[in-house]
């Protein structure tokens, strides 16, 4: 009865404490645990009537502290006619978040997909295109100004080879010119929001990730405000090898060296159906590896899954034959992936020593020890990197110590242009 009442209060948006967790998930809640680690733990909010479902609302408000509208801030839904905006559903989602003390990520201001037909079927000059993009950003980012923590300003703008994706905005305004326009305009419309570039397939090193690094460096060189890069992280069981945490962390640290944040923005791990216990155990490893990397990276403070439960996942329709992609099952019960995340957040692990780093890949040792990012390269806290660290890494990495000061690790001779972690 208590649970039912709490759930109803949650659904009605009543102020006060978050409703009690429904059974079958470990306590404390993930929201509480993440907060203790200084991490935001969030999810995409399913469309339409989801918030009116008392159980959905109760789980959302008790287990998560950040939401992102899964669809209702995209052009097609929020800007359905050239002179028409529809904020109804997005407003309700933002209001729910505010009632329950949750943060909101905005998604997204410039994307190749889910654009309205009036926009994609129109014929526009470059000047008209610029005005359309700017007006949209002024209106939408302006509508929520001061209320969103982060915006995915540009989504999926880099192609697999690292160049700019060819679509409406790059064709009309040029690449990376339209990215500059979008970020500058978003900053003007909502100076308080952190502005992110967001993409898939950039969780591991490769040409696409290098293209994103180039894009961020270019934005910085041109004085365009950019605060972070979102790793969508739509993953599969094949994503992870033994070097998984290492690879995720390598990319996060590369962005840390540019002085920008990273966020895990849309994590799910698609399982080929049927989902057997073995596959769910493998899935838990992938989830755990991504959280470990985020905890290890000093610039990762946001960790979002793409949907609350397997009943609210886009995977079965987007990838026929796959499913069970989220950490909670269709009844909101904890799967091995949920327990793995919970365990990693629960157990305060000892910091690794230089001896640990000598015998295992850097991130692997740190992952096993479960440490947070701070002492990553300086476990002894003496301001120097472990002697066993690859020189390429030690040469170019700034270590944030547990003290409030920042110490630059003494540079060793670089042996590679692109730093990589040992593994």
Catalytic machinery residues: 156, 266
Structure tokens at 4: 């039912």
Kindly state the DSSP code that residue 298 receives in the 8-state scheme: T
Binding-site string for ligand XIL from residue 72 to residue 111, where x marks contact by CB under 6 A and - marks none: ----------------------------------------
User: Which residue in 232, 251, 302, 396 binds ligand XIL (CB under 6 A)?
Assistant: 232
Please count the CA atoms within 13 angstroms of the CA of 78 that sit on its side-chain side.
25
Nearest alpha carbon to residue 199 among 137, 264, 256: 264
Binding-site string for ligand XIL from residue 36 to residue 75, where x marks contact by CB under 6 A and - marks none: ----------------------------------xx----
Nearest alpha carbon to residue 293 among 171, 421, 416: 421
Nearest alpha carbon to residue 332 among 2, 56, 61, 69: 56
DSSP track, 378-401: -TT-SSS--TTS-HHHHHT-EEEP
**Cβ 44 to ligand XIL shortest distance, Å:** 7
Rounded CA gap, 243 and 203, in Å?
12
29 versus 232: smaller Cβ distance to ligand XIL: 232
71 versus 239: smaller Cβ distance to ligand XIL: 71
> 228: helix, coil or strand?
strand
User: Which residue in 167, 209, 248, 314 binds ligand XIL (CB under 6 A)?
Assistant: 314
Interior CA angle at 64 toward 62 and 65, to 5°?
A: 105
Nearest alpha carbon to residue 93 among 64, 136, 133, 115: 64
Tell me, by CB under 6 A, how many residues bind ligand XIL. 6
70 versus 356: smaller Cβ distance to ligand XIL: 70
When asked if residue 302 is in the footprint of ligand XIL (CB under 6 A), the reply is no
167 versus 367: smaller Cβ distance to ligand XIL: 167
71 versus 397: smaller Cβ distance to ligand XIL: 71
Kindly state the DSSP code that residue 15 receives in the 8-state scheme: S
Rounded CA gap, 362 and 341, in Å?
21
**Cβ 207 to ligand XIL shortest distance, Å:** 20
114 versus 406: smaller Cβ distance to ligand XIL: 114
**Cβ 5 to ligand XIL shortest distance, Å:** 31
Binding-site string for ligand XIL from residue 137 to residue 166, where x marks contact by CB under 6 A and - marks none: ------------------x-----------
Going by their DSSP bridges, the two strands 398-400 and 406-408 should be labelled as: antiparallel
**Cβ 111 to ligand XIL shortest distance, Å:** 7
**Cβ 139 to ligand XIL shortest distance, Å:** 20
Binding-site string for ligand XIL from residue 16 to residue 35, where x marks contact by CB under 6 A and - marks none: --------------------
**Cβ 72 to ligand XIL shortest distance, Å:** 10
**Cβ 182 to ligand XIL shortest distance, Å:** 15
Contact (Cβ atoms closer than 8 angstroms) between residue 306 and residue 268: yes
Residue whose CB is nearest to ligand XIL in the complex, by number: 314
Containing 27, the helix (H) or strand (E) segment is none
Q: Mention every residue, 6+ apart, whose C-beta is less than 8 A from residue 8.
A: 54
Rounded CA gap, 137 and 143, in Å?
9
**Cβ 230 to ligand XIL shortest distance, Å:** 9
Q: State phi, psi for 251 to the nearest 5 degrees.
A: -70, -40
Q: State phi, psi for 226 to the nearest 5 degrees.
A: -135, 130
148 versus 377: smaller Cβ distance to ligand XIL: 148
231 versus 314: smaller Cβ distance to ligand XIL: 314
Nearest alpha carbon to residue 201 among 168, 155, 151: 155
Structure tokens at 58: 């109760």
Q: Which residues bind ligand XIL (CB under 6 A)?
A: 70-71, 155, 232, 266, 314
């Amino acid at each position: 009865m208590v649970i039912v009442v709490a759930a109803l209060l949650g659904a009605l948006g009543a102020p006060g404490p978050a409703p009690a967790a429904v059974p079958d998930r470990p306590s404390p809640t993930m929201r509480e645990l993440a907060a203790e680690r200084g991490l935001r733990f969030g999810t995409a909010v399913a469309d339409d009537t989801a918030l009116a479902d008392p159980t959905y609302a109760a789980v959302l408000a008790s287990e998560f502290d950040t939401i992102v509208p899964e669809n209702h801030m995209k052009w097609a839904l929020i800007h359905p006619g050239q002179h028409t905006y529809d904020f109804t559903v997005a407003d309700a989602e933002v209001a729910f978040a505010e009632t329950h003390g949750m943060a909101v990520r905005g998604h997204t201001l410039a994307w190749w997909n889910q654009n309205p037909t009036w926009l994609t079927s129109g014929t526009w000059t470059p000047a008209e295109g610029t005005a359309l993009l700017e007006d949209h950003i002024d209106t939408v980012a302006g509508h929520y100004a001061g209320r969103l923590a982060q915006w995915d300003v540009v989504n999926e703008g880099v192609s697999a080879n690292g160049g700019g994706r060819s679509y409406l905005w790059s064709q009309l305004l040029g690449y990376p010119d339209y990215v500059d326009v979008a970020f500058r305009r978003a900053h003007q419309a909502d100076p308080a929001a952190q502005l992110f570039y967001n993409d898939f397939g950039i969780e591991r090193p490769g040409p696409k990730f290098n293209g994103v690094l180039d894009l961020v460096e270019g934005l910085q060189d041109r004085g365009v405000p950019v605060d972070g890069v979102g790793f969508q992280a739509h993953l599969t069981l094949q994503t992870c090898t033994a070097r998984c945490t290492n690879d995720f962390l390598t990319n996060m640290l590369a962005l840390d060296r540019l002085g920008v944040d990273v966020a895990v923005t849309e994590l799910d791990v698609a399982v080929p159906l049927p989902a057997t216990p073995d596959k769910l155990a493998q899935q838990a490893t992938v989830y755990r590896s991504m959280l470990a990397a985020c905890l290890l990276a000093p610039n990762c403070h946001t960790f979002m899954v793409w949907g609350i439960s397997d009943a609210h996942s886009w995977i079965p329709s987007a990838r026929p034959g796959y499913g069970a992609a989220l950490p909670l099952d269709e009844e909101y019960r904890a799967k091995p992936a949920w327990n793995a995340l919970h365990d990693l957040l629960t157990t305060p692990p000892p910091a690794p020593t230089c001896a640990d780093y000598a015998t295992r890949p850097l991130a692997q040792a740190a992952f096993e020890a479960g440490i947070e990012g701070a002492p990553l390269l300086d476990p002894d806290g003496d301001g120097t990197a472990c002697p066993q660290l690859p020189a390429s890494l030690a040469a170019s990495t700034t270590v944030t110590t547990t003290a409030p000061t920042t110490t630059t690790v003494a540079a060793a001779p670089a042996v590679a242009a692109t730093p990589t972690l040992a593994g």
